[in-house]
Amino acid sequence: MSAPAPVIAVTTSARSGWRIFPLVALNVWLAGGRARRWGTGRAADLDAVDGLVIGGGDDISPALYGGEVRAEVRLDPARDALERRLAEEALSRGLPVLGICRGAQMLNVALGGTLHADAYAAYPGSRRYRTILPRRIVRACPGTLLAELTRREKMWVNALHTQSVDRLGAGLRIAAFDSGGMVQAIERPAPPLALGVQWHPEHLFYKRQQRRIFGALVQAARAHASGAPATA
């Protein structure tokens, strides 16, 4: 009898989760896992899951990393508090974590890093995009897990974010840049998996290299569920 599919928690916003979660769940299912939606007002017990996806959404409050508040952005303090707690606990437990867009930023903040509240002011050489279509070129750093997973140095990805990683959190390294020097992915070099990508791979499920990101998460979650040693 085959082992049950690992359960992956997926955090979403209360406002847009209804349309985002099914797409992330599809990617998790294609990789052999089973997704469970979490958010503010829903039960969120890490004992019940084998891995965690911190999903995209509104900007993270600068209060979490000592930044300057921008009046024009929409914030969700309740979601900030939930996801920071989950990220910190998952990392301390050795639970595999994938951060998507906002989730990559939260992964960095949970490990003591900071953000650029206005990514494009910090990186004027990075072209501003706001689309789920693959319009931005990013380059994976040689020798990183991301480069190994995607088997690509250069990738076309989408972009919806306004914040970006500034100072790296403890134990993280940069895994990808764009042409303007903006950080586009971060990762923990050693297992268990902790990977954050600034784009939305769930919208790019038709690209094999993007599906491999979810595949790595599910594989790490399966190892966690079985008690096997984590591998990169």
Catalytic residue, candidates 83, 161, 187, 200:
200
Q: In what order do the strands lie in the sheet with 131-140?
A: 34-38, 7-11, 51-54, 97-100, 194-197, 183-187, 173-178, 131-140, 154-159
Single out the residue of 84, 76, 82 nearest to residue 110, CA to CA. 84
Known catalytic residue: 141? no
Catalytic residue, candidates 83, 101, 161, 224:
101
What single DSSP character describes residue 47?
G
Catalytic residue, candidates 83, 202, 203, 224:
202
Known catalytic residue: 68? no
Query: Strand 97-100 and strand 194-197: pairing?
Result: parallel
SS3 content of the chain, % helix, strand, coil (to 5): 35, 25, 40
Return all residues near 179 (Cβ < 8 A) that are at least 6 apart. Answer: 125, 126, 127, 137, 139
Between CA 66 and CA 116 the distance in angstroms is 11
Return all residues near 202 (Cβ < 8 A) that are at least 6 apart. Answer: 20, 23, 24, 26, 27, 100, 214
Between CA 157 and CA 165 the distance in angstroms is 17
Known catalytic residue: 202? yes
Single out the residue of 20, 14, 19 nearest to residue 41, CA to CA. 14
Active-site residues: which are they?
A: 101, 200, 202
